[in-house]
Amino acid sequence: MQLPYSAEVYFVTLAEYNVTWRPVVVTGVAIMVAAIVLAMRRPSPGASSGASRKITVILAVGAFWTGAVYQLGMMADLNFMATAYGAGWIAQGVLILWSGLVRDRPAPAGTVHGYGYGAAGIAIAVFGLAGYPAIIALTGQTWPALPMAGTAAHPTAVVIAGLLLATRPRPPLVLFIWPAAWAAVAAFSGNLLGQPQDFSVSIAIIAATALAITARFRAA
């Protein structure tokens, strides 16, 4: 089986996308950095809810953009599955907002809950933000052909999974369904495109999901 595009075509298209949306790409990285910083802070109880709501909105914005513009816009010209993927990303954004705002169950910000899950989540999020693009750079790609958190699927999925783990003592497991599905997509496409570095995305998301399941039941 083959995908309807090659790795070379993908990186050329990604470079065009990053140039076209440069201000948004930069903003996307900046707000993901802000979300990680908020998750690492140890605010007072009164400030915790506000920080969690900000993280919720940031992650939802990243999911919406990835679905609507990256998938339904850029990838739709390359991959017949882009419409389904775009719908999945948008649904993920809705679920994040529903859990964090509509249900009014924001998690306390700060990596202070037990078993080291918070620290692990932060580490996974930082990998999505900086580690994965660095790995891509080591393969010979340079800016603007680098996938960036907030506006590209792989790093955004890793950051979302990591921060959901880091900021929620009992992570709503429904929020990990799409990241876990994306781990499978990353492994599948990475294998077909000859991009083994994409397996690091799968490993990071699977680790976050496994830890979230453990945290959920140990905190019950």
Q: Where are the domains of the chain?
A: 7-218
Confidence of residue 48 (pLDDT cuts 50, 70, 90): low
What is the average per-residue pLDDT within 5-19? 97
- Assess whether pLDDT exceeds 90 at residue 201: yes
Mean pLDDT of 202-215: 93
Average pLDDT over all residues of the chain = 89
The amino acid present at 80, given as its one-letter code, is F
Average pLDDT for 75-94: 97
| Identity of the residue numbered 140 | G
Which pLDDT tens digit goes with each residue over 99-152? Answer: 888 765 545 444 444 447 888 999 999 999 999 999 999 999 999 999 999 999
d(CA 195, CA 40) in angstroms, rounded, equals 32
* pTM, to two decimals: 0.93
Residue 3: is it exposed, middle or buried by C-beta count within 10 angstroms (0-12/13-18/19+)? middle
